[in-house]
Structure formats: C-alpha cells, structure tokens
Amino acid sequence: MSRSDASNSAPSTNYLLSALPSREYNHLLPHLDRVPLPFKAVLHEPGQLISHLYFPTSGMLSLLRGRDGREGGMEVGVVGREGMTGLPVFLGWDTAITRSIVQVPGEALRISADKFRLLVGRDSVLHELLLRYVHVFLTQLAQAVACNSLHSVEKRLCRWLLTVHDRAGCDRFPLTHAFLAAMLGVRRASVSEAARRLRQAGLVRYGGGQLTVLDRRGLERTVCDCYRLIKTELNRLLSGIP
C-alpha cells in the first residue's frame, strides 16, 4: 500500500482529527501517512499484532468476526470518517480481535501503533474524543446484535445501507448479494428477496457488483428504530466536533 507524507496536506476530513486543536493536530501530523484504501484490502487480522491505526478520510471499513475458523465472517461494526480502526491499541491491547477490510474504497491517515502510544496521552484532546467514540462504537455493536435477532432481513438491509451511505459519502458503492448475506449472517436467497423489494419500491438500483441509493428518505421510512438509535449516538459525538 503506497503512502505519502500528510504534513503538507489540508486539515483532515476525518472528524476525530479535524476536531483537534491546531497545536495537537500539528504535533501528530509528521507521523501521519496518507494511504489509499483499495477495495477489499485487509488492514488487520484477528490475533495479529496491530502495527498501524487508520483514521479514514473517505470510504468505509467493515470489521468482521469469523465463523468456525472460516475466512470472512459476519460484520460486527463499520468505520468511516467518523472514527478510527485499531481501537484495541487505544484500549491498552496490541492485537486485533476483528478482521478489518475495506468495503468502500477511499483514503486514510495512518499512524504507527508505537507513535500513537507515545503521542496520545490521557491529557490529549484525541484521547477524550476516542473515549466518546468507543461509546458510539459499543452502541453500534450492541444495537446491531439486537437488530439481527429481532428484525426482518429487509429492515436489517435498510439499516446497513443507511449506515454505509452515512459513512461513504457517496450514493454508489461496491456490493454483491453474496457479500451482503455474509455481512448480515443470512442466506443469499433471503438477501436477494429483500434487495428485490427495495429495488421494486424504487429505493435502490443494483447490478454488476454495484448498488446505488436512489431514495434515502424511502430507506429511512422502511428501516427499523435500531438505525435511529445508533445515529443519535453518532450525532451526539459529532455535535461536539466543530
């Protein structure tokens, strides 16, 4: 994965980094590398040492937990420009517990785990912001577990599409029925039927491994309350960010 020095770039479009006071941001800047996030690139693997942390500035990452030791797994969380991947390092651990994979290509600012530990102390603004972000991430995780147990595949699919739409910052992104089935932990036929209903309602268009959101408001009318509960906590985080 190629990289470029971020020291001469404009302030970050990652919400956490953009909220930092100039002095703290400039202190971190020489240690941040701007790197591409190619589609399907794997940044972390469960049980492996976390060498770098990533602050996405565009695109989206999925965090996956494997099933029965098989490759891939079910999605347990997503990270976009509102957050950071590599939270175990912030929490005092050094190995990943999820597989971090790029689902919507983009870019990120990357810092080594060693530099992060050295520069982000308990008295830093970034430390405080990351504590709040951990709360948002745990809310996302807990609500997703409940949603997967209680709600229909169609409503869960709407939640996922809106979540991606919020973070990706674009209407069109890579998507296949096989991937969605794995992310939602259901049969491919179930996802295909749910996606067909959304397409017939004029909410989405898909084909050729791409999906386009046509009617976001329609998705919001269809989705379960889980999305709104997660969104509320995310908005609480972002409301404190200039």
pLDDT at residue 10, rounded to an integer: 46
- Distance between CA 146 and CA 139 in Å, rounded? 11
The residues, ordered by sequence, that sit 6+ positions from 18 with a Cβ below 8 Å of its Cβ are 11, 12, 241, 242
| Averaged pLDDT, 89-105 | 93
Are the CB atoms for 157 and 218 separated by under 8 Å? no
Q: So what's the pLDDT on residue 73?
A: 73
Regarding whether 126 and 8 lie in a shared domain, the answer is: yes
**Cα–Cα distance list, 84 to 51, 102, 165 (Å):** 14, 13, 17
Question: What is the domain-level CATH number for residue 192?
Answer: 1.10.10.10
Q: Report the candidate in 78, 108, 88 with the shortest Cα–Cα distance to residue 4.
A: 108
**What does pLDDT average to over the chain?**
86
**Between 167 and 7, the higher pLDDT residue:** 167
Inter-residue contact 57 to 81 (CB < 8 Å): yes
Which pLDDT score is estimated for 14?
Answer: 93
Print the SS3 string covering 169-229: CCCEEECCHHHHHHHHCCCHHHHHHHHHHHHHCCCEEEECCEEEECCHHHHHHHCCHHHHH
Whole-number pLDDT of residue 3: 52
Q: In terms of residue numbers, what domain contains 18?
A: 4-145
**What domain count does the chain have?**
2
| CATH code of the domain containing 64 | 2.60.120.10
**Structure pTM?**
0.86
Q: Say if 16 falls within a structural domain.
A: yes
Mean pLDDT, to the nearest integer, of 45-52? 96
pLDDT at residue 9 greater than cutoff 50: no
Same domain, 65 and 135: yes
Pick the closest to residue 126 from 78, 98, 87, 96 (CA basis).
87
Label residue 1 by pLDDT band (50, 70, 90).
low
The order of strands in the sheet holding 210-213 is 172-174, 210-213, 204-207
Per-residue confidence band for 75, with pLDDT thresholds at 50, 70 and 90: confident
- Average confidence (pLDDT) over 30-40: 95
Same domain, 70 and 105: yes
Mean pLDDT along residues 63-85: 77
pLDDT level of residue 184 (50, 70, 90 thresholds): confident
Choose the final residue of a domain: 126, 145, 164.
145
